[in-house]
Amino acid sequence: MDKLNNHPYGELLASYSAGSLPLSQALCISAHLEHCDSCARKLQRLNRVGTELMQQLTPSKASDDLKNRLLDRLDSLEDETPKHESARVDPSIPRCLRQFVDSSYDDLRWKWVSADIRSVELCRDSNGARVELLKIKPGGSAKTHTHLGDEYTVILEGSFSDEAGLYRKGDFIVRDRHDQHTPVATRDRECICLAVTEGPIQFTGPISRLLNPFLRRGYA
């Protein structure tokens, strides 16, 4: 596995470990972790922080009634954890995304966004954040845009570059409302990203700015 250059910063990884991140952001971290041994090791140590903090709590005694009821039920318990594993699933799709992608990215209902971009909305988070996949054609460009909220991106296939650098498969990128950027996919292949947007994207070009009122409606 190649060493990646773009990782979630420590505080974000700690919130993931603590379980206090919105699920949409946790989804991005999880997708990144599958590509990044270095962050996976950091996560192990962060989990130990949570473990030690939990050990330091003053225990609060559980009732015998609770224990006995559970002991009585042990034989009838069944594992109800949902499984999103399909035999046909493309192994390069991160596990955390298989709840949305049955077999391959090609089978999704991609929608036209611009000549260079297709998108498919996977779901919304309870905080209103939009979770989507974006597909940029080889050499294609997303319009220059800013955001009304933070944007989290993980590259799933291919690579792209913007004003700040080149990003490859597995890279994790956060852009906040002050960053204005123009991502361009590299020419050799199309680029697929997981994108979580906390507020609508604002186009900043002179003509595309006219689109903003329509885009904002999606977040009402």
Strands 191-197 and 184-185: unpaired
φ, ψ of residue 87 in degrees (nearest 5): -65, -25
Which window, 59-67, 137-145, 157-165, 182-190, contacts other proteins (CB under 8 A)? 59-67
Nearest distance, CB of residue 69 and other proteins, angstroms: 8
Contact 132, 195 (CB under 8 A): yes
How many residues in total does the chain contain? Answer: 220
d(CA 19, CA 104): 29
How many residues form the binding site for other proteins (CB under 8 A)? Answer: 65
Nearer of residues 96 and 173 to other proteins, judged by Cβ: 96
Residue 42 binds other proteins, judged by CB under 8 A: yes
- The answer to whether the CB of 152 falls within 8 A of the CB of 25 is yes
Using DSSP, state whether 198 is helix, strand or coil. coil
Is 41 a residue that touches other proteins (CB under 8 A)? yes
**How many other CB atoms are found less than 10 A from the CB of residue 89?**
16
Which of 2, 71, 213, 220 is close enough to bind other proteins by CB under 8 A? 71
Which residues between 1 and 20 bind other proteins (CB under 8 A)? 9-11, 13-15, 17-20
Contact residues for other proteins, defined by CB under 8 A: 9-11, 13-15, 17-24, 26-27, 30, 33, 37-38, 40-42, 44-63, 66-67, 70-71, 74, 77-79, 81-82, 84, 95-96, 98-99, 123-128, 131
